[in-house]
Structure 1
Amino acid sequence: MARNDTVLVLGATGGIGGEVARQLRNAGWAVRALKRGGAEGETTKDGITWLAGDAMDAQAVRQAARGCAVIVHAVNPPGYRRWSELVLPMLDNTIAAAKAAGATIVLPGTVYNFGPDAFPLLTEDSPQHPATRKGAIRVEMERRLQDASRQGARVLIVRAGDFFGPTAGNNWFSQGLVKPGQPVKTVSYPGQAGVGHQWSYLPDVARTMVELLARRAQLEPFARFHMAGHWDDDGTRMSGAIRRVVARHAQGTGAAVRVSAFPWWLLALASPFVATFREMREMRYLWQTPVGMDNAKLVAFLGREPHTPLDEAVEAALGGMGCLATAPVAATA
């Protein structure tokens, strides 16, 4: 019988996986994490038990999941490479392990599943007609998870907008708008003027998952929830927050941060040689039209959506990425 406080996190070295692992640990869960290339056996660090293994190894995943009540599937191929080869086999290994352990699978969802017929406001029941190869893979992932929920596994999908947070990873905030480890001088914005865009602060997404898991006995076998996150209605709110935060830390020593258009032309030139750039170009359509999410179902279930104020979230993100060199200027009384 699976314990109700043991969880396996796949992708715990990444942004969302790492944040979920830490928050589950802080909430009292016994957290296991699978790490590719780690030492044989297990090690405990910061309250998390790390196991050597690869998400592509079905036996390793099944063994790591033994006795777990939850498996968080937050693993992705590094740098967007070999998505078509790796993503579905990794998910199949998680599904098999969840069935064997009687565990709930948690998947961080994306908007890639949807095409223009579902825009501009997505609900959990919006039609999934993807416009890209990656979107088609995400649809197939959710189809397989729904099938698994009919065969004894339980599934929780939390869908959010573009991630940003203290841990840099494969996201537009750290790969497009600013550069990790460098002072912010320019915000390179990928969207069109006047087009809305949805952002989600990683700790808020993780907190939502933790709160839903605390009430998982009340969830349907295949449960999906959308988060509203931070809605930038005209493409200027996120850039404005970055500029305000940087100005507070500059203490009068730096020039104002300027906002420029993202160099899509450069991605076009480099795409034949860099897989990450090819995948980024494929997602450009999401910057050319407003795409938001309706969180009514989430609010009805939890009573609220965990939500950090935008400037506070941006400050934590930039600080964690090493983009803020000084303490903020104290506010004048």
Structure 2
Amino acid sequence: MNTVHAVVGAGALGSAVVRALVARDRETRLVSRRGSEQPPGAEVRMADATDTDGLARALDGSAVVYQCAQPAYWRWHDEFAALQQSVIDATVRVGADLVVADNLYMYGAPRNAALTEDSVEAPSSRKGHLRQAMATTAMDAHRHGLLRVALSRPSHYFGAGYDRNGKSVFATAARGRPMQFLGRADALHSFSFLPDVAEAMVSLGVSGTGWGRAWIPPVQAALTQGDFAQRIWEVAGQQGAARTRFLRPPQARVLGLVSPIMREVSEMMYEFEHPYVVDSTRFEQAFSMGPTPLDDAIEQTIAWYRS
């Protein structure tokens, strides 16, 4: 009988999923290219997620696989779909279920209403079309009976080890330096706390009730990015008004001329220029799980970067 819960990918989210599984006393395995260190209680195996044969060997004995691997942001169009297909194929071979770390890109630009699982999918970016196609492929495998699949679609997250905003926001706030945000200070935004996202993925994997659909895991209550910055600043122990910089689309496009990641970020700036409100009520009610209180989530993130 397969009993292992295997996490593919050792980035910030994959590491958080491993910690959540270990905390639940599940038989846990991390599969990554480098065999990264993990908390006591987790087995580590090395495999390249794009090598289906090698990945299947590394996943042997798995009951549930958590797909948290992805290529560099600027290589998504060349590599991501094939990588995820390899994970799907390897999971089918070992007879496991699959929880996929998805996102909200396929819903496109906000349309004056909070995003829910029932929102119309209308991608407004190349990456949105890519994620929609990848999600469709995964759900087709479920519908065809090859394996059971659940999709987790968090909003933009923050937390320990997520350096895309960790270094430019939380680490700088801890040092009393200006925090760097994308978009407008007055734009409402719903953020997800990384441990909440990980815990939600584990809940999907162990519950047996969430298969065959997409779920939005718990999100923080929407607040303006300026208010979010002020909360971070104060929790970091700083005085007065938060020191911030907000990068607007024209600046992002200029930086994209020399920075691969900023070149890719430019098409997603709409998410930070307009209200981006996300509703996770369905998941919260189904799994009796809400978000970590915001100040606690901020404090944990700052503490990690200080350490």
When normalised by structure 1's length, the TM-score is 0.84
- Whether contact under 8 Å (1:228, 1:293) holds in the other structure is no
Name the aligned partner's letter for residue 7 of structure 1. Answer: H
Aligned with 1:20 (options 6, 17, 20):
17
**Aligned residue for 2:84?**
91
Partner of 1:273: 258
**Counterpart among 134, 148, 169 of residue 141 in structure 1:** 134
What displacement does 1:265 show?
Answer: 4.5
Query: Residue 278 of structure 1: CA displacement?
Result: 0.8
Q: Which residue of 1 aligns with 2:6?
A: 8
For the pair 1:129 / 2:114, whether they are aligned, the reply is: no
Q: Distance in 2 between matches of 1:175 and 1:264?
A: 21
Aligned residue type for 1:23: A
Count of residues in correspondence between the two structures: 306
Q: Over residues 136-176 of structure 1, what are the superposed CA-to-partner deviations in whole Å (9 max), with x where a residue is unaligned?
A: 1110111011111023211111211111012233x3x2265
CA offsets, 1:208-259, max 9 Å, x none?
Answer: 222232312x334x12211341133333331121111122xx5xxx786423
CA distance in 2, matches of 1:311, 1:117: 27
CA contact (8 A) 2:218 2:284 kept: no
> What TM-score, normalized to structure 2?
0.90
Specify every segment of 5 or more residues in structure 2 that has no aligned partner in the other structure, as ranges.
none
In the aligned structure 1, how far is the partner of 2:97 from the partner of 2:298? 32
Aligned mates of 1:102, 1:118 — CA distance in 2: 40
Deviations, residues 179-202 of structure 1 (Å, cap 9, x unaligned):
569713212232324321011111
Consecutive unaligned residues of structure 1, counting only runs of 5 or more, are 325-333
- Secondary structure in 2 aligned to 1:260? strand
Alpha-carbon contact 2:173-2:179 (below 8 Å) kept: no
Separation (CA, whole Å) in 1 of partners of 2:189 and 2:110: 17
Residues 83-141 of structure 1 show CA distances to partners (whole Å, capped at 9, x for unaligned) of 11110111111111121222111112212111237553122122212111111111011
**Residue number among 246, 268, 283 corresponding to 1:298 in the alignment:** 283
- Residue of structure 2 equivalent to 1:321: 305
Contact 2:68/2:100, CA 8 A, preserved across alignment: yes
SS of the residue corresponding to residue 129 of structure 1 reads coil
The separation in 2 between residues aligned to 1:145 and 1:46, in whole angstroms, is: 32
User: Which residue in the other structure is 1:331 paired with?
Assistant: none
Task: Write the mapping of 1:133-282 to structure 2, written as runs, cut at 5 A.
Answer: 133-150=126-143, 151-169=145-163, 171=164, 173-174=165-166, 176-179=168-171, 183-216=175-208, 218-220=209-211, 222-247=212-237, 257-262=242-247, 264-282=249-267
Change beyond 3 A, Cα 1:246–1:223: same
Against the structure 1 CA distance between its residues 182 and 302, is the aligned structure 2 distance closer, same or farther, given a 3 Å change threshold? closer
Against the structure 1 CA distance between its residues 71 and 119, is the aligned structure 2 distance closer, same or farther, given a 3 Å change threshold? Answer: farther
Residue matched to 2:28: 31
Give the SS at the match of 1:116: coil
1:310 maps to which residue? 294
For 1:257 and 1:44, the matched residues in 2 are separated by 35
Q: Which protein shows a greater Rg? A: 1
Identical columns (%): 26
Give the direction of change, closer, same or farther, for the CA distance of 1:38–1:102 in structure 2 (3 Å limit): closer
SS of equivalent to 1:194: coil
Residue identity opposite 1:184 in structure 2: G
Q: Is the 8 A contact 1:158 1:225 kept in 2?
A: yes
Match of 2:268 in 1: 283
2:44 and 2:257 map into 1 onto residues whose CA distance is 37
Change over 3 Å in CA distance of 1:214–1:279 after alignment to 2? same
Bigger mean CA offset, 44-53 vs 54-63: 44-53
- Check if 1:49 corresponds to 2:46: no
Q: Report the alpha carbon displacement of residue 260 of structure 1 after superposing the two structures with TM.
A: 2.9
Structure 1 residues 205 and 11, CA gap change in structure 2 (3 angstroms): same
Instruction: Report the Cα offset of residue 284 of structure 1.
Output: 0.3
CA distance in 1, matches of 2:172, 2:46: 28
For residue 283 of structure 2, give the secondary structure of its aligned residue in structure 1: helix
Does the alignment pair 1:61 with 2:55? yes
**Residue 178 of structure 1, CA deviation:** 4.6
